[in-house]
Amino acid sequence: MTSLDGLAPAAALFHSLADPVRLTIVQRLACGEARVVDLTRELGLAQSTVSKHLGCLRGCKLVDYRAEGRQSFYFLAAAELMDLLRSAEQLLTATDRAVALCPTYGTDADQQVGACGDGTQVPA
């Protein structure tokens, strides 16, 4: 085993977040669970595309689902993911490449109203 082999899990994690669609799905699921049909409608993407991206996120254990009847509700499986996105946003800000990964991080709204626009609190 080389020193690079030990980095494979971290590389897989960052690869799973390297796609804008997957980041958008993560941001959406931070607002609450959603079905594939909800995500396809909200993102304007094909069901197969959303399912593929959810599969990638599930493979890294960032997203999971619960079955209810014939429906599957997807949710963020690791609360630490939001901490990672907040840290990434801080790093991007520090390097003059600010991107809103966590739209309300560092604001009063971060503690009160979630980034979902409906008052839903984003998990911390």
Residue 107 has which token pair? 């604001």
Residue 50 has which token pair? 């959303």
Q: How much is the pLDDT for 4?
A: 79
| Coil vs helix vs strand at 119 | coil
Residue 118 has which token pair? 């409906």
Residue 103 has which token pair? 């739209």
> Domain 1-78 carries which CATH code?
1.10.10.10
Question: H or E element: which one contains 121?
Answer: none
Each residue's pLDDT, cut to its tens digit, for the chain (124 residues) gives: 677 788 988 888 898 999 999 999 999 999 999 999 999 999 999 999 999 999 999 998 999 999 999 999 999 998 899 999 889 888 888 887 777 666 665 665 554 444 455 545 554 4
d(CA 42, CA 52) in angstroms, rounded, equals 16
Contact 78, 61 (CB under 8 A): yes
Q: How much is the pLDDT for 77?
A: 95
User: Where in the chain are the domains?
Assistant: 1-78, 79-114
d(CA 12, CA 49) in angstroms, rounded, equals 19
Q: How much is the pLDDT for 62?
A: 95
